[in-house]
Structure 1
Amino acid sequence: MNLRLDHLLDDLRANAADILKAIDADPLLSKRQSGELVLANASGALFTPQTAHQLFAKGLVYRRDPFELVSLPLVKIYNLGEKNVSAADLAGIAAGPGNARLHFLHKLDGTLIQRFQHRGRVYFTTRGMIEGGPCYGTQDEDAPARTRNFDFLGTARRLAARKYPALVEPRPEFENLTLVFEFIHPETRVITNYGDREDLVLHACFDKVDYRYRTFAELKELAAAHALAHVEEFAPAGHTLGEQIESLLASIAGTDQEGTVITIEHDHRVVYRVKVKGPDYLRVLKLVVTCTYDRTVEMFDAHPDWTGWADLETHLRSLGREQVPEEVLGFYREHYDTFAAYLANCEQLRVWAAKVGAEVRRAAETEAGTGNDRLLRKCFAARAVAFPNRALLFTAFDGRLDLKAVREFARTPDEARAALARV
């Protein structure tokens, strides 16, 4: 596939209806609708784009009847080395005709948010969610699983209203522009630790009139005009692109910074983007992928003598920094806190079921008398069905009510919270 942005966007301009029809009909792409607007993104079944139209489906928004492009955040960006793209290839593109420029932009480790306006209304979306659309499934493919209940769009809009009010109202100067931000929030941290920072950082702008991405210089001008935060760029040393990449990677070695997006511009157009990720970031990312809530629970269940976080932390530290670096330890703590809250809710359910079950049994015994277990169970059942979580009451009746039984009844933190809310 041709990965040159200028060529892809020229094709999209010339063949928009056909490309959007292909996106609309593609079963490997998920669609979320908000009124007449449709947001398209890769589904879980699509690991990497297989056809050219799938390169655009990274949060693209369009209309049907007739097919029309409304907003385009980012076209698929590959990592250096993928699709046989080498530093030498990039150097060749950067040396192309025209006023060529090359930027090493910071690759921020947050969540993509696009902002556009349509028919007098401002919309915010992630790659997978659009305001006014259904709220289920993954909001962003890069967001960690623990954030599945986080309100990305609502939080981003409130943050914009507080820090960058120009973004929440339709403005003539933003017409036909897609503003692409990296949303940073302490509750949605992936790998890089930004502390308590909450921000929307502008890092791209698609111009639907010219079917091009604004250059970095234009991006900075737009940000300055509206007091927006914008992405910064590295200035790596070196005479060749390869030397500059090596210099940049050396400068972020030992940190949790993700890396860079190398952006090549010819005249007033962005013609190529490619990601370069730092080895330390990739190492931690690989470890974080295995640092899951389920794995944390499995470790606790395998060590019934553990009583709290201190036991888990001691075990993890004993594995060594290569297996569990300090950055990953924090993610385990988040999973532990979730598990501890789940256990506390399960214990509350157990206490409730024991108390109510005993009361229902006494009433049933009064009605059934003694010596007839079958009648006693029937009388108990007639009363228990009036209560929520009645399966726990029957477990109490059978003398099997313990924390393990409650965890079998409410297997996840969400199920435990829901069950507790019913009592």
Structure 2
Amino acid sequence: MLLSDFIDISDMAHEAHEGYVKVQVHPEFPHLQIAGYTDKCQYDNHWTPTTKALRGVIFDVRTFEVKARPFGKFFNYGQQPEQYDPDAAIIGAYNKWDGSLGIGYVQPNGRPAIATRGSFVSEQAIHANDLLAKDPDLQDAIRSWVSDDITPLWEIVYPQNRIVVDYGDMDDLVFLGTVDNATGEFSPWADSRFQEPAHGGTLREILEIPPRKNHEGFVIWFDPAHAVKVKQEDYLALHRIVSSLSVKEVWRQLRAGTFRSWAEGLPDEFHEWARETALPMALDYDDKLTGMRKIHEGLLAKGFPTRKEQALWVQEFIAPEDRGLMFGLLDGRDISDSIWRQLEPKGNQPMRNVESE
């Protein structure tokens, strides 16, 4: 199985150059590489056949032979314009685990290992490999799957990797299922110990299931190649708290110049809210800065010979709240932070309910 069988390699190189795909080299075997879409890709909603497929694909750069192929990107229900027939039959709905995707592969030295979406050596991958090292049966299983050109997948769950859902002291690799490398089709694993598959036969039945305590939601598979996530509102509400999502937090990030990197790191379902909240603040900032600079240029054009005459003009013609900004420009200072302080939101409004829009 070659990477070029399902990916346009030149397009992958282009997406990597644009920052939408990241390729990481294995620290021990440099010919082994892993390609995954980036936070920037998620934030810009830049989903192409290439970026959707690259969710941690592992390949040999010398031959472009695929060593692992996880399932591609799938979206939150309502996030994309796809139309779903609510009464169409589904394969099943499985617990959406609140952890990190683990991707099984075999290293060139024959040792089984687990990577995460974009890294061989992320904190979560290191922890997963520590668990794997203690389980010879699982090592043998990975070798067997890989020899059959199949990629096994897990959710990596342990206390230090908690995102929102509290799994207590659970420290385990939750087996999700396998992907056929040749077709990209996923076969879910209905292990009742972990998966608790919902037995509703349609999307409508799953959407009508009441929120379950301490759960994230469901992954609904329509067929072996297409799935959608449904997240519970109580999970999203708690995630907003954990992520400190509020109008004032957006303002803080804009003021610090870190909004883009902060917003890219948010889960998909919060990206639109972050953009919509930031836009009017950014426009207000630009309007204020542009306006003050224009007035400053006009003031200089008047040719007042002394600072006192400039100050008298400012006192007469500039609104009290903007006089400090004008004196800052006259002194050659950066007034950006002063403008942001003017624009600070009152109170600390929480984000709107993203699911209701």
TM range (shorter): 0.5 to 0.7
1:128, distance to aligned residue in structure 2 (A)? 2.3
Taking a change above 3 Å as real, the CA distance of residues 289 and 125 of structure 1, as seen in their structure-2 partners, is same
The one-letter amino acid of 2:93's match is: F
| SS of equivalent residue, structure 1 residue 290 | coil
- In structure 2, the partner of 1:41 is 36
The one-letter amino acid of 1:197's match is: M
1:230, distance to aligned residue in structure 2 (A)? 5.2
Q: Is the 8 A contact 1:114 1:126 kept in 2?
A: yes
Between 1 and 2, higher relative CO (CA 8 Å, sep ≥ 6) is seen in 2
1:212, distance to aligned residue in structure 2 (A)? 3.3
What CA deviation, in whole Å up to 9, does each residue of 1:8-58 have, x standing for no partner? x9x973556556555555532122101111112223322233322000122
CA distance in 2, matches of 1:165, 1:73: 23
1:156, distance to aligned residue in structure 2 (A)? 1.1
Taking a change above 3 Å as real, the CA distance of residues 14 and 55 of structure 1, as seen in their structure-2 partners, is closer
Taking a change above 3 Å as real, the CA distance of residues 91 and 186 of structure 1, as seen in their structure-2 partners, is same
Taking a change above 3 Å as real, the CA distance of residues 245 and 12 of structure 1, as seen in their structure-2 partners, is farther
2:112 corresponds to 1:77: no
What CA deviation, in whole Å up to 9, does each residue of 1:246-278 have, x standing for no partner? 332x142xx23100000123xxxx031000000
1:288, distance to aligned residue in structure 2 (A)? 0.9
CA distance in 1, matches of 2:145, 2:58: 20
CA distance in 1, matches of 2:114, 2:202: 40
Taking a change above 3 Å as real, the CA distance of residues 16 and 178 of structure 1, as seen in their structure-2 partners, is farther
What CA deviation, in whole Å up to 9, does each residue of 1:52-107 have, x standing for no partner? 2000122122232443322112200101112123442x645x4xxxxxx5201110
- In structure 1, the partner of 2:119 is 129
Out of 116, 136, 144, the position equivalent to 1:165 is 136
Q: Is the 8 A contact 1:40 1:60 kept in 2?
A: yes
| SS of equivalent residue, structure 1 residue 212 | coil
Alignment identity in percent? 22
1:240, distance to aligned residue in structure 2 (A)? 5.3
2:155 corresponds to 1:182: yes
CA distance in 1, matches of 2:218, 2:62: 39
CA distance in 2, matches of 1:240, 1:205: 23
- In structure 2, the partner of 1:352 is none
CA distance in 1, matches of 2:87, 2:226: 11
Taking a change above 3 Å as real, the CA distance of residues 166 and 291 of structure 1, as seen in their structure-2 partners, is farther
Taking a change above 3 Å as real, the CA distance of residues 50 and 87 of structure 1, as seen in their structure-2 partners, is closer
TM-score w.r.t. length of structure 1:
0.50
Q: Is the 8 A contact 2:154 2:174 kept in 1?
A: yes
CA distance in 1, matches of 2:8, 2:138: 27
Out of 222, 234, 244, the position equivalent to 1:290 is 244
| SS of equivalent residue, structure 1 residue 187 | helix
Taking a change above 3 Å as real, the CA distance of residues 195 and 291 of structure 1, as seen in their structure-2 partners, is farther
Select the structure of larger CA radius of gyration.
1
Q: Is the 8 A contact 1:12 1:19 kept in 2?
A: no
What CA deviation, in whole Å up to 9, does each residue of 1:354-373 have, x standing for no partner? xxxxxxxxxxxxxxxxxxxx
| SS of equivalent residue, structure 1 residue 128 | coil
What are the residue-to-residue correspondences of 1:17-416 with 2, within 5 Å? 17=9, 20-21=12-13, 25-34=17-26, 35-46=30-41, 47=43, 48-88=45-85, 91-92=87-88, 94=89, 101-119=90-108, 120-131=110-121, 139=122, 151-162=123-134, 164-169=135-140, 171-175=143-147, 176-208=149-181, 210-216=182-188, 219-220=189-190, 231-236=195-200, 241-242=203-204, 244-248=205-209, 250-252=210-212, 255-265=213-223, 270-290=224-244
| SS of equivalent residue, structure 1 residue 180 | strand
Taking a change above 3 Å as real, the CA distance of residues 214 and 85 of structure 1, as seen in their structure-2 partners, is closer
Q: What is the number of equivalent residue pairs in this alignment?
A: 240
What CA deviation, in whole Å up to 9, does each residue of 1:329-360 have, x standing for no partner? xxxxxxxxxxxxxxxxxxxxxxxxxxxxxxxx
| SS of equivalent residue, structure 2 residue 208 | helix
| SS of equivalent residue, structure 1 residue 257 | coil
1:291, distance to aligned residue in structure 2 (A)? 7.6
CA distance in 2, matches of 1:104, 1:286: 25
Q: Is the 8 A contact 2:103 2:116 kept in 1?
A: yes
Taking a change above 3 Å as real, the CA distance of residues 50 and 214 of structure 1, as seen in their structure-2 partners, is closer
What CA deviation, in whole Å up to 9, does each residue of 1:212-245 have, x standing for no partner? 33433xx35xx79xxxx65331234xx8532x13
The one-letter amino acid of 1:73's match is: P
Q: Is the 8 A contact 2:114 2:120 kept in 1?
A: yes
The one-letter amino acid of 2:80's match is: K
CA distance in 1, matches of 2:180, 2:75: 22
> Mind listing any 5+ residue stretches in structure 1 that lack a counterpart?
1-8, 95-100, 132-138, 140-150, 299-423
> Mind listing any 5+ residue stretches in structure 2 that lack a counterpart?
253-357
- In structure 2, the partner of 1:375 is none
Taking a change above 3 Å as real, the CA distance of residues 230 and 16 of structure 1, as seen in their structure-2 partners, is farther
Q: Is the 8 A contact 2:113 2:132 kept in 1?
A: no
